[in-house]
Amino acid sequence: MAYELPARFAEYNEARQRGFLTVKKVKEDGGRVAGIFCTFTPLEILDAAGFLSVSLCGMSGETIPAAEAHLPRNLCPLIKSSYGFALTDKCPYTYFSDLIVGETTCDGKKKMYELLGRLKPVYTLHLPQGLDGCALESWTAELRRFIAFLEERFGVSVTDKALREAARARNQERRARMALMETMRAAPPPASGLSLYRTLEGSGFLFDQDQRTAGLDRLREELLAAYAAGERPVSAASRRILVTGCPIGGVLEKTVGVIEASGGAVVCFENCSGIKTACQMVDEQAEDILSAIAARYLEIGCAVLSPNRRRREHLKRLIEEFHVDGVVEVDLQSCTTYGVETYEIQALLRELGVPYMALETDYAQGDCGQLSTRLGAFIERL
């Protein structure tokens, strides 16, 4: 029997639209807005500097044709979409940003930021290439350089006290996100993966930190209460799927939507909007708080860092904790880092005895039929 999800899910789905007006009000009141693209962006620094951080548009194919006037057609769709929204002035968040913070997570984004810098002020953070050697020292020094830039450019003061307070607040939010995602360990899960993902994504557009954290806690409590009362929105017969790979916001319906329409239930997202970037905490008691912040971000198991041992470690743990029946990797077209890693991930899952499928796609709809056929066959085999 199907039940309606708590009404609060819908509230989060509408948060992005309401967020436009919130950001406009922040600007009218003299506040500063930082547009960001990546989970490697050190939010604690922007918080301590008094910026409102907001994720910029880049999950739609709508603006890709305009972007292709400046960018190669065979570039990653996320990069083209992000640039296209700025180029066409269709993203209010980009419009209101005093600063856009980029990062060297791939060569395509790095070069795109050069073009974006002609439209808006852009600061590019230089990530270390790997995790061995002096990676932590290098990344900490890069964050110090970023702080110096913010202080000089905007006349702010980023203190250790402010960084610790920001780290404490961000840790609380991450714990709330983790607790909500961990409800999906239940069999059957208390919500569809599609609803959960949209909720997590929408929470980023509730800009009051305490309200955002409290809202995630309330949603978890409501979800668990409904579950305890016998509500089962997901069939117990659904195959439990973990999704890994690239950011999937722009391909959510034709991947996660199709998986769940085909008899699967996505119980775990091991990607940028899921567990991969929420499970690491900043050591709030560390003597050098900035170094602790730097260390937290280097714990993210992203394919842009080599060797990427952490992703394999996370996958092993998550497959067991969420009782996963199969893994679907979603890679965006021309994303070399994740594309190359599919070989090792496939080998790991073969060793673990877990069925695995890798998909490469983009924001166009031309491959929807093919993806539906392949995903349907994969779920049926499980």
pLDDT for position 6:
47
pLDDT for position 206:
86
Can the peptide bond before residue 42 be classed as cis, meaning omega within 30 degrees of 0? no
CA distance 290 to 140: 7
CA distance 200 to 204: 7
pLDDT for position 12:
52
pLDDT in tens, the chain (382 residues): 343 444 555 555 566 667 888 888 888 999 999 999 999 999 999 999 999 999 998 889 999 999 999 999 999 999 999 999 999 988 888 989 999 999 999 999 999 999 999 999 999 999 998 888 899 999 999 999 999 999 999 999 999 999 999 999 999 999 999 999 999 999 999 999 999 999 998 888 888 999 999 999 999 999 999 999 999 999 999 999 999 999 999 999 999 999 999 999 999 999 988 999 999 999 999 999 999 999 999 999 999 988 899 999 999 999 999 999 999 999 999 999 999 999 999 999 999 999 999 999 999 999 999 999 999 999 999 9
Q: Are the C-beta atoms of residues 160 and 289 closer than 8 Å to each other?
A: yes
CA distance 114 to 122: 8
pLDDT for position 57:
82
pLDDT for position 3:
37
| Closest by CA position to 220, among listed 10, 1, 2, 9 | 9
Quick check: helix, strand or coil at residue 181?
helix
Q: Are the C-beta atoms of residues 287 and 165 closer than 8 Å to each other?
A: no
Cα 59 from chain centre = 12
pLDDT for position 7:
55
Quote the DSSP letter at residue 305.
S
Residue with tokens 């995903």: 375
Q: Are the C-beta atoms of residues 327 and 311 closer than 8 Å to each other?
A: no
Task: Compute the C-alpha angle 20/24/25, nearest 5°.
Answer: 120
Work out the burial of residue 344: count CB atoms within 10 Å of its CB; fewer than 13 is exposed, 13-18 middle, 19 or more buried.
middle
pLDDT for position 2:
40
| Cα first-last separation, the chain | 23
Q: Where are the alpha helices (DSSP H) in the chain?
A: 8-13, 15-28, 43-48, 64-67, 77-87, 92-96, 107-116, 135-154, 160-182, 193-203, 209-228, 252, 258-261, 289-298, 309-321, 336-352, 368-381
Q: Read off the tokens for 236.
A: 């117990």
Cβ neighbours around 185 below 10 Å, total: 15
